[in-house]
Structure 1
Amino acid sequence: MRITEVESVVLGDAHFVTVHTDTGLVGVGQSACWGYPTAVHAVVETFRPHLVGADPARIEHHWQHLYRMGPFRGAVLGGAVSAIDIALWDIKGKALGVPVFDLLGGRYRDKVRLHFLLPGTGAETLATQAAAAVADGFTAVKFDPLPANYGDLSQARLVAETAKTTAAVRDTVGPDIDILIELHRKLTPLQAAAVIPALAPHHPLMVEDAIQIDSISSQAEVARRALGVPSANGERLHTIWEFKELLAQGGAQYVRPDVGLAGGLSHGRKIAALAEAHHAAVVTHNCLGPLLTMASVHLDVAIPNFVTQEYSPLDDELADGPARACVRREGGYLPVPTDPGLGVTLDLAGAQPQDLTGRPLTRIPLRADGSIAYAT
């Protein structure tokens, strides 16, 4: 079997790839680098001369070749390699007639627990959305409790308002539902040192990405100082080497790899193994629709240290979009897929541009004085 074509398509802030073979099998993949999809597309175009005519089964060989073609790294390259890697695993599963998780070690669990991303802001809205999610069967919810004007508040008001919103959700869902706190990299390390302890009485499963991702050491330090409040990091990291540094410095109890950014399924299983060796758990990051959700699910099914899978409203809303999964949510869980490969069909013919994030890159948070606040 040989690769005959690599197709790269940008649809708004979504980027998909399809890898075609001379047997008629087609693998599908997606990048999670939603900020710069045309840049990812350009990198995939540079991959084509290596891939066309090659054996798609040599997944690790292709991963290393593509990653090391040039002395440049980062999210754009990571997104491009990830999309190709996912597509190659899809082809291998289809060629062997088995789901991808069978190639990653086999089925470890019988279903995949989900946590629902609450899209709202403010205590009242989030509490209402959390109650609806629990009524729909979810056993975990995730939300951002920071007030909209977080960049202009006094430290005391920032802490009080964040804790108040978190308390509203906890009081609504009760002690049998896990709450996951997403801070979207909005705080400085000094602010994080004040805010995170105030959330401890509400027993969050984790507090994620309190500060900017510029420094792995700083992320690790904030996590170490958050005594009694588990930290989660990694949705914007790209490689096992970055995750290794974070874990070695004691920087996360939960790692958050995104298979569409951190090297696909090949790298995802290595990151999970690194985390396991550090007694850390995996909470896979995902917010861009069914294809990446299903790719993540195959990793979740196969690894022992998985806890919960991110599930976006887009996964339901785009169920009839260009990417369609072979399984549908059952309450707060996804069943284990049984179709060969990823279990995803991708129909790009006539597909419309997608708005997966709802935020133009030029629209970032500003403080009252016109300076740039920490952006998400």
Structure 2
Amino acid sequence: MEITAVESVVRGDAHFVQLRTSDGLVGVGQSACWGYPTAVHAVVEAFRPHLLGADPNRIEHHWHHLYRMGPFRGSVLTAAVSAVDIALWDLLGKRLGVPVWQLLGGRVRDRIRLHLLLPGTGAEALAAQAAAAVADGFTAVKFDPLPADYGDLSLHRLVTATEATTAAVRETVGPDVDLLVELHRKLTPLQAEAVVPALARHLPLLVEDPVQIDSISSQATVARRALGVPMANGERLHTIWEFKELLAQGGAQYVRPDLGLAGGISHARKIAALAEAYHAAVVSHNCLGPLLTMASVHLDAAIPNFVTQEYSPLDDQLADGPARACVRRQGGWLPVPEEPGLGVTLDLADDTPLDLTGRPLTRIPLRADGSVAYAV
């Protein structure tokens, strides 16, 4: 048995991989470096000579071979490794006739709790979307409360506006719904030290990524100084070594690996185990549609320190799109899939570009003086 074809396909800001084997199986994967999908595609093309003719069952061996083929690192490389790794796990599950979570040690839960990403801005819109999500069965929602002109406000205005929007959502959903507050790396460390404590009285489950990812030690410092507000970091980190540095420096209480960026299923389960050793929980990042959602769900089902799975409205919109999952959302939950492999069917016959992020890469926020503000 061997890999007979490596197919790497870019559809707009989406990048998919299909691996075909000599026994007629097809494994599917997806990367999450959405800013540079053609670069990830080029890396997968460089992987092809190693993968063709190789035994697809040697997942851990292939991970290290691909990651260490050249002396270069970064999100483009790990995204390419991620897509291949996810496809290899899909193949193994299909070959053995079991879901991927069974290969990870079996399930530890019967269903997967979801938190819905709210796309709105401003207190009124976010409160309305949160109310609709709760009515639909969600027990947790995630939103960005920072005002649109965050880059130009005085510190006082920045803090009070952010706190007021968070208060509006909390007042709308009440005490039985968890709030996940996403700050999208828009603040400086000094701003974050004023903004984050102001949200404490609303008891968010977590506050995520207040500062840019340039420095792991800066992220850890902000987390240590958060005055009792649980912090979440990691959606732009790539490896267990980066997560280890963050956790060792007193960083996140919640780690946020993206399975399409942080080394796929193989590496994300190591990140989850590392977090468990620090009594940290896993809330994996996920916003690019059903395939990566399903890959995440298999990990969620098999680890003890999972809390809630990020779920985008895109998952519902693309339910009958190119990547079709074997399970559908039931209110604020997903059933644990029982189909072999990931339980995802990938149809790339339609070459219409996908728009998973809704953001042209060159469209970034500018301050009133024309300088570049911190971008999402």
Q: Same fold (TM over 0.5)?
A: yes
CA contact (8 A) 1:294 1:325 kept: yes
SS of the residue 1:246 aligns to? helix
Distance in 1 (CA, whole Å) between partners of 2:352 and 2:361 is 20
Distance in 1 (CA, whole Å) between partners of 2:351 and 2:372 is 36
Which digits, 9 at most, give the CA deviation of each residue in 1:196-235, with x for residues without a partner?
A: 0000000000000000000000000000000210000000
CA contact (8 A) 1:32 1:288 kept: yes
Distance in 2 (CA, whole Å) between partners of 1:74 and 1:313 is 29
Normalising by structure 2, we get a TM-score of: 1.00
Matching of residues 50-89 of structure 1 within 5 Å: 50-89=50-89
Matching of residues 221-260 of structure 1 within 5 Å: 221-260=221-260
2:80 matches 1:116:
no
Q: How many residues align?
A: 376
Which digits, 9 at most, give the CA deviation of each residue in 1:233-254, with x for residues without a partner?
A: 0000000000000000110000
Residue type of the alignment partner of 1:185: R
- Deviation at 1:351? 3.6
2:36 matches 1:47:
no
CA contact (8 A) 1:25 1:91 kept: yes
Distance in 2 (CA, whole Å) between partners of 1:175 and 1:71 is 50
Matching of residues 131-210 of structure 1 within 5 Å: 131-210=131-210
Matching of residues 89-128 of structure 1 within 5 Å: 89-128=89-128
Distance in 2 (CA, whole Å) between partners of 1:288 and 1:111 is 21
Residue type of the alignment partner of 2:308: T
Distance in 2 (CA, whole Å) between partners of 1:164 and 1:351 is 44
- Deviation at 1:334? 0.2
Equivalent position of 1:304 in the other structure: 304
Structure 1, unmatched stretches of 5+, are none
Greater than 6 Å deviation, 4+ residue runs: none
CA contact (8 A) 1:322 1:351 kept: no
Counting aligned pairs with the same residue, the percent is: 83
Which digits, 9 at most, give the CA deviation of each residue in 1:82-111, with x for residues without a partner?
A: 000000000000000000000011011000
Aligned-residue RMSD, C-alpha? 0.4
Residue type of the alignment partner of 1:275: A
Which digits, 9 at most, give the CA deviation of each residue in 1:267-322, with x for residues without a partner?
A: 01100000000000000110000000000000000000000000000000000110
Distance in 2 (CA, whole Å) between partners of 1:288 and 1:89 is 19
Distance in 2 (CA, whole Å) between partners of 1:223 and 1:253 is 8
CA contact (8 A) 1:146 1:162 kept: yes
SS of the residue 2:161 aligns to? helix
Distance in 2 (CA, whole Å) between partners of 1:279 and 1:352 is 44
Distance in 1 (CA, whole Å) between partners of 2:242 and 2:145 is 28
Equivalent position of 1:219 in the other structure: 219
CA contact (8 A) 1:78 1:263 kept: yes
